Structure 1
């Protein structure tokens, strides 16, 4: 497997569990508070690392205890950290409310806003050029993502963009992306004038729409296809989408067709939601092989 590079966010998640969502001006009691490692970039990199991909992570942390803890965690997950920098700003955080088997998240980017073109190392572009797949999300500056997508397109490097949090991008840029993986809310912002069916038909083999417990839709060029999710009782859905994206990318790198790559991603996500925290339940390949739903024909070593 050639290099896989993830350019994105690193963060500490602050997680509150509650049985009541407060109204404006209201104070309610939570049932628990925890911290965990997060950031969409880091999550997707760890998902790849757990499966054995040995990815490169590109991003920034602050010179604080949170940043140091994130670096140690990434080392434990076999992530290449040559392109993770330390900046004066605080390390990024996400503030997560768990309620009724679902989550609400507020992200404070902080150091992640410093993943700018001026701050990238000189040999960063060579890293991209030598990569088989580059993975992006929307928790770093848009101008950085756009420059990376344009560079990869010019040098025939595949790009996966997970457009979360949602923000509009140009049709010209979408054409240069290999795989686009929004959820249903993000899809409505990307394509406000198109139905899901119309958007999928417009971008066959590119647009992959995740619908949580319902499954994942894509279009094979002839038909719209739903790849069902695996039914499990979730403990914490935080990071399920990131686990899906990391595992989906791993399967693509292993040359599975799109439908099987989505199925592999769905299985990884179904395992992840049975753990706690964005990264807590992310499975290893060995853990996935223990599942009754693992396809023996995948032949992953």
Structure 2
């Protein structure tokens, strides 16, 4: 993959939160009680994850988000500043706490409950307030841990300004035709395609969006349709894989490669490589690699 000397400007509109991870032997079912082996907290939120990932990969990252006026919010802000993310428009919300995600992690997989809190107060007004950043953006990134009306407004803003915009469609929700049509790229989990796009076979949905829809499956694999054939790329971790945040890591790596004008296939490969490195550590942010890791 080639890297130019430019420092791309990426504006990320999305969530900031704290992930509270319970390690258990199994995922509890209704009326079930299990003992947790441990409880750990990690910095997270899809917006913050992508802001930090793209910053580490050499971009100037600007985050539009909200946190509460609480200790978690201060922790999030300090971390973003330490990661050289511009937080001028991360609002400290007076009415809501900082968002949290409760993750039950077991050998069966992860079960995640998200409390959006301040993230669900991210509004079109927050986007308008930061318009000067959008004017110079090379790319806008967003996800679905903020209100859909805000995401739709963001897409209208991007279209009005003629800006590229990518979306990681998670947690899954139906995307409007306007979003699908204007998006520069869409990243989605294979299990979510019908929720996001409506009924249809996975291959039919993917083939309807050549070089636009990139589908994540398993520990670290990505598939897409290049206009003539289906493409599949898999980077299996050699050791235990930690799956939290891998979609954000892939999306960030893909974005950086795209802004350095690499072919789509190389963008996908680089996204997978970024996610592969992120899988070495528990939590969404600790394992995110730096651009120097790929220049050795």
CA 1:130/1:237 → structure 2, altered by over 3 Å: closer, same or farther?
same
SS of structure 2 residue aligned to 1:182: strand
Per-residue CA distance 1:217-270 (angstroms, 9 max, x = gap): 111111111122233223421111111111111111111111111111101111
2:102 equivalent to 1:95: yes
Deviation, 1:155, is: 2.2
The whole-number CA distance in structure 2 between the counterparts of 1:214 and 1:287 is 19
Deviation, 1:214, is: 5.7
- What is the RMSD of the two structures over their aligned residues, measured on CA atoms? 1.5
SS of structure 1 residue aligned to 2:231: strand
SS of structure 2 residue aligned to 1:268: helix
2:272 equivalent to 1:251: no
Deviation, 1:286, is: 2.2
2:42 matched residue in structure 1: 36
CA 1:231/1:101 → structure 2, altered by over 3 Å: closer, same or farther?
farther
Per-residue CA distance 1:78-101 (angstroms, 9 max, x = gap): 101111111111000011111117
Deviation, 1:281, is: 1.0
1:299 matched residue in structure 2: none
Per-residue CA distance 1:189-212 (angstroms, 9 max, x = gap): 122322121112111111111113
Query: Counterparts of 1:31-180 in structure 2 under 5 Å?
Result: 31-88=37-94, 89-100=96-107, 102-120=109-127, 122=129, 124-180=130-186
The whole-number CA distance in structure 2 between the counterparts of 1:225 and 1:238 is 24
CA contact (8 A) 1:98 1:236 kept: no
2:212 equivalent to 1:201: no
1:281 matched residue in structure 2: 287
The whole-number CA distance in structure 1 between the counterparts of 2:257 and 2:52 is 15
Question: What is the aligned counterpart of 2:227 among 216, 221, 232?
Answer: 221
Per the normalisation by structure 1, the TM-score is 0.92
CA contact (8 A) 1:208 1:216 kept: yes
The whole-number CA distance in structure 2 between the counterparts of 1:289 and 1:28 is 45
CA contact (8 A) 1:101 1:235 kept: no
The whole-number CA distance in structure 2 between the counterparts of 1:269 and 1:101 is 21
CA contact (8 A) 1:267 1:288 kept: no
The whole-number CA distance in structure 2 between the counterparts of 1:288 and 1:102 is 30
Unaligned runs of 5+ in 1: 291-301
1:296 matched residue in structure 2: none
The whole-number CA distance in structure 2 between the counterparts of 1:58 and 1:233 is 35
CA 1:186/1:237 → structure 2, altered by over 3 Å: closer, same or farther?
same
1:20 matched residue in structure 2: 26
2:273 matched residue in structure 1: 267
Query: Counterparts of 1:290-301 in structure 2 under 5 Å?
Result: none
The whole-number CA distance in structure 1 between the counterparts of 2:18 and 2:73 is 8
CA contact (8 A) 2:165 2:184 kept: yes
How many residues end up aligned between the 2 structures? 289
2:4 matched residue in structure 1: none
